[in-house]
Structure 1
Amino acid sequence: MIQLRRRHLLAATLALPALRPAAAQGAARIALLHLNDFHSRHEGAQANGAACRPNADCLGGSARLVAAVKAARAAAAAEGRASLALDAGDQFMGSLFYTYHRGLAEAAIQQEWGCEAMTLGNHEFDNGPGNAARYIRALGVPVLAANLDASAEPSLDGLVRPFVAFGRGGARIVVIGLITEETPHVSSPGPNLRFRSAEEAAERAIAMARAEGPATIVLLSHRGLAADQRLAERLRGVDVIIGGHSHTILANRADAAGPAPTLVDGPDRTVRIVQAGALGRFLGRLDLDLDATGRVVAHGGDPVELTPALAEDAEAAAIVARFAAPLGEMRARAVAPALAPFDNGSCRTQECAIGNLIAEAMLAATPGADIALQNGGGIRASLPAGMITYGDVLTVLPFGNTVATATIRGATLLAALENGLSQPGAGRFPQIAGLRIEADLNAPAGRRLVSAEVLRGERAGRVDPERAYRIVTNNFLRAGGDGYTMLRDAALEAYDSGPLLEEIVAAHLTALAPAQPRTDGRIRLR
């Protein structure tokens, strides 16, 4: 659960979701509909993120999402509210729809639900800037990132704006896009893009927008809740932050990380922060009453969960079916039965069975390797119990990563493990094989790794900083992703073009059949 500051909790408690009965005379009435971190989940997902099964409740999905947006627009209109539909990024990556179509399925569904502006997420760059540009052209609505400098990247130059202004219900709504500055470390944007300070870029964009007249300022931010809270505290002139990246559900329900909206005291006004979870499970709605200057005088609304009780939109279902047609044969191939689910929910904070499975598959497929390393954030879904298909494996590992090997000194290995432990809950958390570690996540960063021991082969024993070890990982980490720059810069020899990671995991599952989830204490946390 996100730890909110006391004043934020107090403010949220005092500001109930129902709108105040009295608004300023002549106020505009607006409904902001918002989505974030959809991750190509056109067919929905189980609550744990695994692919849908016929006998399991399936949440979200594009057909329900489109139906929910249409219903929300109609409800807002009936209440006298003008609506504006916004997307806070990471449409890409998470299912075969993206693996095969590279963003065109996402663009088609966004057009169907009426997305009016979007900020780029880090995953929009997973297949490089050229693919992002292709998607932006297909989408056909303003795509925003005020802190992205694309002037040196020909494929994107001129396609991404800092902000866009909308007229709604007599109000001027200025939407400013922000993308995480960590994108070069967690995705593949190439060498030409520059990711600048979000705070400085937002400050400039707010000044430019307000110079043109009164406005309600909405930051459409793919930077995570904690980063959004810090920005709200420091930046003048911000009315609303619609967030993404941290997959946080802010809602007025018991299992949410915080209320909707979460309130933060900014330098000159209260900032309302919202975020709608991930994977299309929720559609967010924030209602605003605005005075003549664009200031918020009342708010309401709450995310709607897209459960099986919500009817699907027929036109959207037909679009999904069209894009799904070429995927059937690929995903239907049986791989192996599993005796229980392999859940990915804890892979960013501790040892997890699916992380062990992937790391062990890499180690088994790489003769001569001492240890294997997989980033927890690269495990994008769970594997179900029962017959696992190749489509299930691709949903877990949708990035098309190859297996990469390198020889490194023990000191480099220790630095890599320390990096993996440096941000518990982030994607860099290490899932390992051939290695046992002990860690103290409460220790200062840089001192969290207590011990590391290689478990097999002639180099078995406590890691020697001077000794050479052979590591197998994925090509994203070997290239320095998720902060593992030491695997890029200090490799004595490396090869990044091994087999596809999903193929060796599928083969490993077949060899294990039936597969049994297993943890063994290889990562011990104090």
Structure 2
Amino acid sequence: MKLICVVTIALLLLGLAPVAGAQGGDFTLTIVHTNDTHARIEQTNANGGTCSADDAAAGKCFGGVARRMTAIGQIRREGGPMILVDAGDQFQGTLFFTQYKGQESVPFMNAMGYQAMALGNHEFDDGPATLAAFIKALNFPVVSANTDVSREPGLAGLIAPYAILEAGGEKIGVVGFITEEAGILSRPGPNVTFDPIEPAVRAAVGELRSKGINKIVGLSHAGVERDQQVAAAVDGIDVIVGGHTHTLLSNTDSSAYGPYPIVVKSPSGAPVLVVQAFWAGKYLGRLDVTFDAAGTAIRWRGNPILLDSSVPQDANVLAEVRALAEPLKAITEQVVGTAAVDLDGERTSCRFGECTMGNLLTDAMLAATAAEGTQIALQNSGSIRASIPAGPVTLGQVLEVLPFGNTLATFDLRGDDLWAALEHSVSRAENTENEGTGRFLQVAGLRFTWNADQPVGSRILSAEVKQPDGTYAPLDRTATYRLVSNDFTRQGGDGFEMLAQKAINPYDFGDPLDKVFADYLKANSPVAPRLEGRISRAEAATAPTAVIVTPVATDTATAPLPTTGAADNTAGQLLALLVAGVAVMLVSAGILLRRGAGLQG
């Protein structure tokens, strides 16, 4: 449930009104911010993927550090007090990170004049040593009040709970915090811990206020829902600049999650302004806030700035980006296959339901381990980082989809533990703004139905395993199955503790996942994966609803159930729907379950 606590309609309208000149002790600050750029130092297409030559020629590319440099310079030349901050996840997502391990971002962030950065969970993807080298190269502090690195020799002393910035003669406190789940979302190692957010932030705010600082910005990598909870629980924060959930807040885009800013009441009733600026550097956030003498926000206005082709790219920065890109060309331009259809790897698709990229990838994993008798493939959707448009597929695109360097992991697993893994997979997937949705599993050799209206732990209605003849049989909770996943998930990443603890004879050192995918494309192109009904989301059970079962052709709003198999398989599917409180009408022998409108993306 969205925790959007708007102070009043009048206050919101006032906040969106132009900021007038300061009166008396009033002070106006411009907060410029980014989040979740994920190594997108080049301009990208609309979805954060590779900007093709055709897209560039048509002016359909966005972001990139050269364009961001121009936009920041334009704001800075206005001459008012300003701070520039980043809410984390500079790491991971393109070949630039694979090659340069975060150092690709350093010179540009320093040159732009960033003044503080929050830790993101992906900053730990390559371990503490890579993060330490990154922080040491920056000209500004990295802050996280709820991250304890005191026992990690490489990071000890490099991360502070807060920073104190100066703008227009005023001191601004910036308190960092990160999702408490960073430890299972990344690879920080055993010596780094993540504490509960509210107590850590409350303590940091208290220290700042004891120093006489009454204008405080939270710099968060916890997600928009969590940011609103923190705003409502901790006094003394005026603004929260967020990241992690890749959320667009906007006053002009009807597809946005909410207004920019979202206004939340603090425990004392003061307004707290919550902002976030999507991801991949497509937007540059700008919030102008006027504070009174007591440090309370009294007026504000702002909106994310779309960094499209109307914003020119800084020529000097662009030249530096191209120099960094040159060594990567031999990799990025190698064609490994062809896609006959778009391969959908978007987080709004893959983290909440079946997606074509997930189907293709898990099929490749099964094929690569067929000689071992593998029956089922599981792939966490958080490891799928990009889509690929129809046409030639390059190795560079493959590496953008799978940038983490994961390897295949094979193991045996009892059916009851597999059921528990499926329950964990859907435990956050009822809301597209939930954090932790990267745990949603894409599957092959398996199909399941789930209901978001049921309690967590009781959402899986049915699960069936594909048989050698192509039919499906109910998952036997007492049987043992042969599985393939990736090493991150098998070792308990994304909270899959049952895979870490219950896997039988695990081997986590198979071929690199990107190689497996590229080899599959080479052997099977052109590929044309489709939605097959591997993952079905049941209709809400609040009232009986007729689900028409007909043999019509599939489209983007439908998820077909396979028509092959014995009659008891059909009966099992219908029974699962009846359990969910859905009235079913069997119209003909062919079956197609229309997916509920609740599935977003």
The TM-score normalised by the length of structure 1 is 0.96
Displacement of 1:68: 1.2
**CA separation of 1:290/1:16 partners in 2, compared to 1, >3 Å: closer, same or farther?**
closer
| 1:433 equivalenced with 2:432 (yes/no) | no
Displacement of 1:291: 2.2
Which structure is richer in relative contact order (CA contacts within 8 A, separation 6 or more)? 1
1:266 matched to which residue of 2? 266
Partner of 1:55, secondary structure, is: helix
Native 8 Å contact 1:28 1:170 kept in 2: no
Native 8 Å contact 1:405 1:494 kept in 2: yes
Please show how residues 60-459 of structure 1 align to structure 2 within 5 Å.
60-75=63-78, 77=79, 81-253=80-252, 254-268=254-268, 269-345=270-346, 346-367=349-370, 368-424=373-429, 425=432, 426-457=437-468
Displacement of 1:72: 1.7
Native 8 Å contact 2:15 2:299 kept in 1: no
Native 8 Å contact 1:435 1:452 kept in 2: yes
Q: CA offsets, 1:189-227, max 9 Å, x none?
A: 000001001100000001111001132010000000000
Q: Distance in 2 between matches of 1:374 and 1:44?
A: 29
Native 8 Å contact 1:18 1:301 kept in 2: no
Q: Distance in 2 between matches of 1:11 and 1:330?
A: 55
Greater displacement, 480-489 / 314-323: 314-323
Matched to 1:350, the amino acid is G
Q: CA offsets, 1:343-362, max 9 Å, x none?
A: 22200001000000111110
Greater displacement, 105-114 / 374-383: 105-114
Q: Distance in 2 between matches of 1:330 and 1:11?
A: 55
Q: Distance in 2 between matches of 1:190 and 1:139?
A: 22
Q: Distance in 2 between matches of 1:304 and 1:82?
A: 19
Greater displacement, 260-269 / 272-281: 260-269
Q: CA offsets, 1:466-521, max 9 Å, x none?
A: 11111100111011011111110001110001111011111111112112131111
Q: Distance in 2 between matches of 1:249 and 1:7?
A: 17
Mark the runs of 5 or more structure 2 residues left unpaired by the alignment: 539-601
Displacement of 1:20: 4.4
Q: Distance in 2 between matches of 1:106 and 1:21?
A: 36
Q: CA offsets, 1:100-146, max 9 Å, x none?
A: 11000011221122111101000000011111101111123101011
Partner of 2:53, secondary structure, is: coil
Q: Distance in 1 between matches of 2:342 and 2:41?
A: 22
1:514 matched to which residue of 2? 526
2:18 matched to which residue of 1? 19
Native 8 Å contact 1:214 1:293 kept in 2: no
Partner of 2:129, secondary structure, is: helix
1:461 matched to which residue of 2? 473
Mark the runs of 5 or more structure 1 residues left unpaired by the alignment: none
| 1:470 equivalenced with 2:469 (yes/no) | no
- The structure having more radius of gyration, on CA atoms, is 2
**CA separation of 1:179/1:410 partners in 2, compared to 1, >3 Å: closer, same or farther?**
same
Displacement of 1:388: 0.7
Q: Distance in 2 between matches of 1:451 and 1:198?
A: 37
Matched to 1:67, the amino acid is T
Matched to 1:506, the amino acid is A
Displacement of 1:8: 5.6
Displacement of 1:170: 2.4
Partner of 1:185, secondary structure, is: helix
Native 8 Å contact 2:4 2:262 kept in 1: no
- In the alignment of these two chains, the number of paired residues is 521
Q: Distance in 1 between matches of 2:343 and 2:11?
A: 37
Native 8 Å contact 1:224 1:245 kept in 2: yes
| Regions of 4+ moved over 6 Å | none
Displacement of 1:338: 1.3
2:510 matched to which residue of 1? 498
Displacement of 1:7: 3.8
Partner of 2:105, secondary structure, is: helix
